[in-house]
Structures are given as C-alpha cells and as structure tokens.
Amino acid sequence: MSDTDANADTDDVASDTPGFDVEYDLSDADVDPDAADVEFDPVRPYTESEIIMTTVRIVTPFVLTYGLYLTFHGANSPGGGFQGGALVGVVVLMLAFAFGIQPTREWVGSGLMSGLASGGVLAFVGVGLGTLALGGTFLEYGRYEPFVGSDATKWGMEAIEIGGVSAIVSGVIMGLFFLTAAGYDKSGGEDA
C-alpha cells in the first residue's frame, strides 16, 4: 500500500502480498452490534471430546514418566531439570484441556503450584547457603565433600536441577496457565 492509500477509507483492505491482488470490502461485513454484550460462561469454556479425553488418559502416564526420567537422569544424559519440569507441567495442561480447566484447577489446587515454585527456590537457595555456611562461596559444591565424598559437585548440581529448577518450571507453567485461563471480567479487572 502506498502512503496515499494509508489515508484512504479504512473499510477497504488490500493485500500487499505480491501475486495476491485481492481487495476486501469490510463495510458490508455481517457484524452483530450486540455481540459485545454476550455473556461469557467461564464454567464451560470447552467442548468435551471422547477422543481427546481417551487420548489424554492413555498418553498422560507416558509423558509424566518421560518428564520424570528427564529430570532425574538429566545430569548424565541430554535433558535436565528445565525440560523435565516443563513436561511435568504440561501433563497438568493436557488434563485441563481434556477434562476442563476449572475441575483440573480444583484438583491440583493453588497450594501445589505455589509450593512447587517456592520449594524450588528454597532448594536452590538452601544448597547455596549451605556452601556459605561451610565457609565457601555461593554454590561452591566442593564444600560438601566431607559429607557426600568426591561426588559433591554432582550431588549439588542434582539437588539444584531436581529440587530447584524442575520444581520451579513445573509450578510456573501450571500457575501461568491457570492465571491466563482465568481471564478477565468486562470491567477490566481480574476474575476471582
């Protein structure tokens, strides 16, 4: 579109894509002026599908197992706390898509989501403060050698990946999903 076309009537929209010379007249669009007044029903925002519900019932244990495998085996192979935590969080999202957001939110509870996120932070900080208490710097895993032997670095990193990162990621994924799914009311404030 040229600069002169930008000031033209906005009811006509032309395609700028080469080879597509299509022009749409939006002034004749069938728009219901009362469409904004339609009430949103937050209780039933999805349509139940037996196919989706059955698929989620079958797939969920495998995805959860793989997420836990990535989390616990991540230091020795590709994967780790972030990837495993993301898959564990996605399991809850799959359940919400299949069986409804509100029932899943009630089943999971806000305590689990905030507990995972804050517990992960506490695990991370706890490992770091433990090294400070033993006279080292923050996350200087070698300070744990008198307690766990020569594998102190490995065990310290495992504690961070499993107890910290995976818990934080899964809790944040679930929390953000349920906060986003809550939506907003018409006045612009958050729904309770």
- Pairwise CA distance, residues 160 & 85, whole Å: 12
pLDDT digits (tens, 9 = 90+) for 45-74: 567 789 999 999 999 999 999 999 998 887
In this model, does residue 174 exceed pLDDT 90? yes
Please state the pTM of the whole predicted model: 0.67
Q: Is 121 exposed, middle or buried (0-12, 13-18, 19+ CB in 10 A)?
A: middle
pLDDT digits (tens, 9 = 90+) for 137-152: 998 888 999 888 888 8
In this model, does residue 118 exceed pLDDT 80? yes
> What are the b/e assignments for 19-39, b being 16+ CB within 10 Å?
eeeeeeeeeeeeeeeeeeeee
- Pairwise CA distance, residues 92 & 167, whole Å: 14
Q: Which helix (H) or strand (E) holds 112?
A: helix 110-133
- Pairwise CA distance, residues 55 & 162, whole Å: 28
Position 76 scores a pLDDT of 74
Tokens at 105, concatenated: 């939110």
Position 37 scores a pLDDT of 52
- Pairwise CA distance, residues 192 & 184, whole Å: 9
